[in-house]
Structure 1
Amino acid sequence: MDGLLIDTEDKYTIVTNEILQEYGRPSMPWSVKAQLQGRPGPEAGKIFHDWAKLPITPEEYSTKQVALAEKYFPTAKPLPGVVKLLNDLHATEKSDKPVYIALATSSHKRNYHLKTDHLNDLFSLFPEPRRVVGDDPRIGKGRGKPLPDIYLLALETINEELKTKGEQAIKPEECLVFEDAVPGVEAGRRAGMQVVWCPHPGLLTYYKGREEEVLAGLTGEHKDEDKVDAEKEAEALQAERISRGNHSGKPGKLNDGWGRLVSTLEDFPYETYGITVPS
């Protein structure tokens, strides 16, 4: 959602830089911003504070951040091409070649509403049961992006709906993930899904020359290093793989054709993915 559907990644940057400037710190560079995008709040917060070294506690920083977020988030706007893309995809659901859309965002429920309540016409295109937010209790602790859980859960919400209609379940390899963040691309690839990467120009510049690594989910910059019990984690993940499609949980391979880089969601090539939009 953030930075892909709406311009809130830029608003996060504005909020962060306002606080940094208050304490005479430099603006946040893309080398740091790239690590925060798409990650759950606690993990992103640790990375940020390790870099920023502000003379205030993380709790004090959070209080300032929340106040500024309440100012900026309700002004969020859709990014170019988003309104048409979502309406087009939504329109296929009643056709003979339906595409089912779900939302998977690391934003917690409170922030989700701050960013989207004024954009109800757009976000109502995602049925309520198919909206997965970062603090969804069905996502295990520490299982945010770049792990695949959030996208597998989004697929489950679709399949639960199809099951009630007596329709065949959709497989991970039949899914297309739209992402702007590098850990999000990795999460999509680990879920066994194809991915469209639509990054911020600043992020794309930072990863110049490494685009194929990103598209395969192979940058290796977002590994989880703080697992308490690796054996139990492995057992849980294995059970998850079986129940959610028996995918490998591993990223892709370089130049395997399952990742595509686009600079904007305008004029999206539906035909490339076999999508037919009703006229």
Structure 2
Amino acid sequence: MDGLLINTEDLYTVVTNEVLAEFGKGPLTWDVKIQLQGLPGPQAATKVLNHYQLPLTLAELDEKTIELQLKKWPTCSFLPGALELIRYLHSKGVPIALCTSSAKHKYEGKTGHLKQGFELFDVIITGDDPRIPPGRGKPFPDIWQIGLAEINEKTGSNIRPEECIIFEDGLPGVASAKAAGAYVVWVPHPDALEVLGDTEAVISGKGEVLNSLAQLDKAKFGL
């Protein structure tokens, strides 16, 4: 979701920079940012605390960032091609699941004004789903496995992982998608490309790299 469907990764950066500036630190650079994308909130926050040596506890950082984030979530919007792709897949009867590391309350805050897209998903799994064992968020594949199992249950299907496309924007997400055994469509943030290095080596023949969801060749997948 974040950074792939909606522009919340940019808002996360703005919020983090506001907190860092309060302590004379920062800004958040993309060599650090790429390590945070797709991680469950506590893991990402811990990395920020450690890297920038902030004089805060995890709970204190969480309180500061939540207050700032709540003001920004209503301003977030769909990224190029995202809403169009969701609507297209839904119109073709292709089962679609949203599997996000965001906790349920954050998911609701980010998407409450964007229901025209998010209400079209057949399945929505958030990062605090109790079926995800502690410590098994992305880059582990558990969230995708749960999403696929729920799709199969709801549709009476027997879709296999290798028949799925997983769309991701961050490194942990790409790793989790590859571990799940699906074809990966990776859409990195444009600013991340400068520090990601050889993206084709990362994808290692198990998917493709796009600059935008609007570039997806649907005919390639029989869509």
Deviation sequence 1:169-193 (CA, Å, 0-9, x none)? 1000000000001110110110000
1:272: Cα distance to partner? 1.0
1:56: Cα distance to partner? 2.5
What is the distance in 2 between the residues matched to 1:55 and 1:140? 30
Paired residue secondary structure (2:213)? coil
Matched, 1:271 2:219: yes
- Who wins on radius of gyration, i.e. which is larger? 1
Alignment match, 1:103: 98
Q: Which amino acid aligns with 1:66?
A: I
1:83: Cα distance to partner? 1.2
Alignment match, 2:130: 137
Answer whether contact 2:45 2:61 (CA < 8 A) is retained. Answer: no
After alignment, is 39-48 or 17-26 more displaced? 39-48
- Which of 173, 186, 192 is equivalent to 2:181? 192
- Which of 155, 158, 183 is equivalent to 2:151? 158
1:268: Cα distance to partner? 2.0
Deviation sequence 1:39-74 (CA, Å, 0-9, x none)? 112221221111011123222221110100110112
1:213: Cα distance to partner? 2.7
Deviation sequence 1:145-185 (CA, Å, 0-9, x none)? 0000011111111100122xxxx410000000000011101
What is the distance in 1 between the residues matched to 2:201 and 2:191? 17
TM-score for the superposition, normalised by structure 1: 0.78
1:199: Cα distance to partner? 0.6
Cα RMSD, aligned residues only: 1.0
Q: Which amino acid aligns with 1:104?
A: C
Paired residue secondary structure (1:196)? strand
What is the distance in 1 between the residues matched to 2:43 and 2:210? 27
What is the distance in 1 between the residues matched to 2:201 and 2:46? 25
Alignment match, 1:219: none
Alignment match, 1:212: 200
After alignment, is 258-267 or 177-186 more displaced? 258-267
Instruction: List, as ranges, runs of 4+ consecutive aligned residues in structure 1 with deviation greater than 3 Å.
Output: none
TM-score for the superposition, normalised by structure 2: 0.97
What is the distance in 1 between the residues matched to 2:161 and 2:57? 42
Which runs of 5 or more structure 1 residues have no equivalent in the other structure?
A: 94-98, 216-253
Q: Percent identity?
A: 46
What is the distance in 2 between the residues matched to 1:67 and 1:43? 19
Answer whether contact 2:136 2:142 (CA < 8 A) is retained. Answer: yes
1:24: Cα distance to partner? 0.7
Paired residue secondary structure (1:177)? strand
